[in-house]
Amino acid sequence: MAKSSSNNVTGKARGKSPTRSDQSAGEQTREEMGLLLGSGGETHQTAEGDTEVLTTQQGVPVSDDQNSLKQGARGPTLLEDFHFREKIFHFDHERIPERVVHARGYAAHGFFELTESLSDVTSADVFQRVGEKTPAFVRFSTVAGSKGSPDLARDVRGFAVKIYTKEGNWDLVGNNIPVFFIQDAMKFPDLIHAAKPAPDRAFPQAQTAHDNFWDFISLTPESMHMVMWAMSDRTLPRSFRTMEGFGVHTFRMLDAEGNSTFVKFHWKPKAGLQSVVWNEAVKINGADPDFHRRDLWDAIESGDFPEWELGVQLFDEAFAESFDFDVLDATKIIPEELVPVRIVGRLVLDRVVDNFFAETEQVAFCTQHVPPGIDFTNDPLLQGRNFSYLDTQLKRLGGPNFTHIPINAPKCSVSHFQQDGHMAINYRAGRANYEPNSWGPGIGGPREDPVRGFRSYEAEPDGPKLRIRPESFADHYSQARQFLISQTPIEQKHIGDALVFELSKVERLDIRTRMVSHLVNVDAGLAATVADGLGMEVPEAAQAARPTMTELPPSAALSIVANGPDSFEGRKVGILVTDGSDSKMLAGLTKAIEKEGALYELVAPKIGGVTLSDGTKMPAKQKIDGGPSILYDAVAVIPSQEGAALLAIDAPSKDFVTDAFAHCKFIGIGPDAAPLFEKAGLSDDLDDGCLPVGSAKDATAFIEACRKLRFWDRELNVDLDAQADA
C-alpha cells in the first residue's frame, strides 16, 4: 500500500464538518452534584449561580470534558492537552499498589509461533520466519473488580499479551471483546468511576448492576454497541481457554519502504468459544471464586496446553474510505465477512508462573510498546492509552526502572543512556552517559540506527486544534443492532435477561427509562422485552445523531454458540457415585471420557471415596457439598440402589441434579438413579438432554451429545420469563 498524505483514514466523512459529541450530561442541581470546593473554599458557579463550573485542579474552568484535544477532526491527540493529562494522570494514580482496572488477573508463560509470514506487509521481525517461536507472557483479568473479587463476575476480560521479540517487547493489550464503551480516552476515568463501587458506600463490588453505571451509560449513546457485548454471554466465559482476544484498535503495519497497511488483531481459541449462564456464574462464585485461575493452572499442569490462533484483518485506505463506519472508532468492528481474518500464528501457554507477585502482579503492559514494523493510528482511545499506561506503571511499580524487573525485561540486547532512578539494577559501565559524544566505538556507547530503528508512519495532520468528535463517529446504534441479530435465539434471550436483571437493580426510574429509550433504536423487540421485564411502558426512542442502519446483515462470527467446539475435549464431567456403584458402568463412562480427551472428577458423599460393586475402593475428588454440578460441563449420576435412596434425602445431592438441569447441561443417568431425580422433582421433566449411561455404548453416546456443551432447548421450559413470552 502506498503512502498517503494524511495519517487519518479519510473515510466517507471527508468534507463533512465535525460535530461536538452528542453526549449530554443533562441538567443537574448543585444538590445533585454536591459542592466541589476549591482551595479557597469557594464553589465555582456560573453567572446564574445555579450550577457548578467544572475546573482543573488548578481552578481553570473546563470548556469540554467530553473530547481530548486533536489536530483536526480525526487527527492525533495533542500532548499540550493539559486537562486530559491532569485527568488521566490523577486517575492512573488512584490506587496503590493494585491496578485501578484489571486488578484481578492471572497469567502464564508460553510462546508465539509464526505459521504464515507477513513480510509482504510488515518489517516486524516477529512476522518474518515461519516456524520460529518467540517467548510470550499472557495475563487474563477482569476489569472492574478488585484483586479479591470473584472470577465469574459479569465483566469484560483483559487479554494482554507480551511477546519478547528480537527487536524489543511487543505488548498487545487487548480484551475478550473487540469494541469499547467510549470513543475518546477523555471519558475513561468517568466510565471506570461509574462502574466501580460508589464512593460514598464502597459497593457494589465487581458489578455494574447499579445506578451510577447505568446513569453514565444511558447518557453515553456511543456505549450501546459495547452494551450488547457486555450483556451477552461474552462476559461470562467458561474459561480463559474458551474466549477470544482482540487488539480492539486499528493499528498499522509498515514495510521496509514505509508503506502502510491497516491491521486489527484477533486471538481465536483452539478450544472453541464457551460461556456459562448467569445463575451458574453466581453459584460458581460462591463455590469456587478462583474458578478461572484453577482451570488455567490445572490445564497447563496436566499438559493440556491452552492455544489460540493469531489472526489479522488487513485492509487499505480504499477499504477504509468505502466502509460504513470509521476504522478509528473503537466502538466499531469490521465484520469478518467484509475483511476475513487471516491466520498467521499460534499462541501456546505451557508454563505456570514461578511466583505470582514477581510475575503476574509486577508485569507491566503498555500499548505503546511496539517493535519496528508496527505503528499506531489516530484512534483517540488508543492515543490516550499510549499516554496513560506508562504513567500508570511508573506509579504502580515505583519508578521508571520497571523494565529491570525480570518479567518486564526484553530478551534482546538493551543499550541506552538512561540512568539512576528508584530501584535501578542494570547500568552501563564507562564515562559516557550522553549522546552525541566523541568517545568513539565501545566507550562512546550506542548510536541510533536509521535503518533498523523504529519509524513512525510519515503523515501530515490536517485541520485546526479542536475538542471534537468527527461526524464519522456519530452512528451509535447500527452495529449494536448487527451484534444482536447475529446471535442465536438463546443468546438473544440471555442479552434481554441480562439487561432486565441489571436495570432491575437501578433505583431511579428515569435512568431505566433513558436506557430503554436507547434500546428502541437498537431493536424494538429487545426494548419491548426489557420494558416488560421491568414492568414499564416502552418509552419513545432516544434522539439519535444518525438513524439506525437496519440493513446490516448478521455476522456468524459474533455468536458464541455458533462458534463452539466440535468436540468435548478439555471439558470436565462430574460423576456422582456412592458405595456399590457399578464398577463396569463407571469404567465404561471414564473410558469414553478419556477417549474424547475430556476430564472427570468423582463426587461422593465422603471425600474418602466409595467402594464399588466389585470391591474396588475409589477415592473421591470432591465431597458432594463441595463439588456442586456448577463446576462441571456435564454430569453423570450413577449411584447404587441403596446409594440413590440416601442421596434422595440429601439437599446438596438434589441441588447437584436440579442445578445441572436448570443450567441446561447434559446429564448421564444410571439405571438406579431414579429416586434422586424423583425427590428433586425432575422425574416428569427429563428430556433429550438426559441420557442413559448404563452401558459402554450408552456412555459413548452421552459424551458425543456433550459436544454441543448445552441442551439449550430446555431453557424455554425452566425459565419463567421464557414461559411468559411464549
What is the rounded CA–CA span in Å between residue 363 and residue 365?
Answer: 7
Question: 53 — phi, psi (to 5°)?
Answer: -95, 130
Q: For the residues of 214-274, what is the DSSP string, one character each?
A: HHHHHT-GGGHHHHHHHTSGGGSBS-GGG--EE--S-EEEE-TT--EEEEEEEEEETT---
Question: 142 — phi, psi (to 5°)?
Answer: -90, 165
Q: Which of the following is catalytic: 102, 225, 494, 663? A: 102
What is the DSSP secondary structure assignment for residue 434, as one 8-state letter? S
99 is in an annotated binding site: yes
Residue 615, burial from CB neighbour count under 10 angstroms (0-12, 13-18, 19+): exposed
385 is in an annotated binding site: yes
Side chain identity, residue 172: L
Closest CA to 691 of 634, 621, 647: 634
Closest CA to 160 of 344, 334, 367: 367
Place of cell 444410571: 670
How many CA atoms lie less than 13 Å away from 380 in the CB half-sphere? Answer: 30
Give the 3-state DSSP-derived string for 484-533, with helices as H, strands as E and coil as C. Answer: HHCCCHHHHHHHHHHHHHHHHCCCCHHHHHHHHHHHHHHCHHHHHHHHHH
CB 24 within 8 A of CB 219: yes
What is the DSSP secondary structure assignment for residue 76, as one 8-state letter? P
Where helices occur in 265-325 by DSSP H, the ranges are: 278-287, 291-301, 317-322
Beta bridge partners of 265: 312
Q: Which of the following is catalytic: 169, 175, 212, 378? A: 175
What is the DSSP secondary structure assignment for residue 621, as one 8-state letter? S
Residue 301: which residues within 8 A CB-CB, separation 6 or more?
A: 352
Q: Which of 220-259 are b and which e, b meaning 16 or more Cβ less than 10 Å from the residue's Cβ?
A: bbbbbbbbbbbbbbbbbbbbbbbbbbbbbbbbbbbbeeeb
Q: Which of 475-496 are b and which e, b meaning 16 or more Cβ less than 10 Å from the residue's Cβ?
A: bbbbbbbbbbbbbeebbbbbbb
Determine how β-strand 572-576 pairs with β-strand 634-637: parallel
**Does the N-terminal peptide bond of residue 436 adopt cis geometry, omega within 30 degrees of 0?**
yes
What is the rounded CA–CA span in Å between residue 679 and residue 692?
Answer: 19
Active site residue 102: yes
What is the rounded CA–CA span in Å between residue 712 and residue 692?
Answer: 19
**Does the N-terminal peptide bond of residue 692 adopt cis geometry, omega within 30 degrees of 0?**
no
396 is in an annotated binding site: yes
Separation in Å, CA 314 to CA 112, 309, 403, 558: 20, 16, 32, 19
Joined grid coordinates for residue 321: 474510505
What is the DSSP secondary structure assignment for residue 541, as one 8-state letter? P
What are the binding residues? 99, 139, 188, 385, 389, 396
User: Which residues are known catalytic residues?
Assistant: 102, 175
Going by the annotation, the residues of the binding site for heme are 99, 139, 188, 385, 389, 396
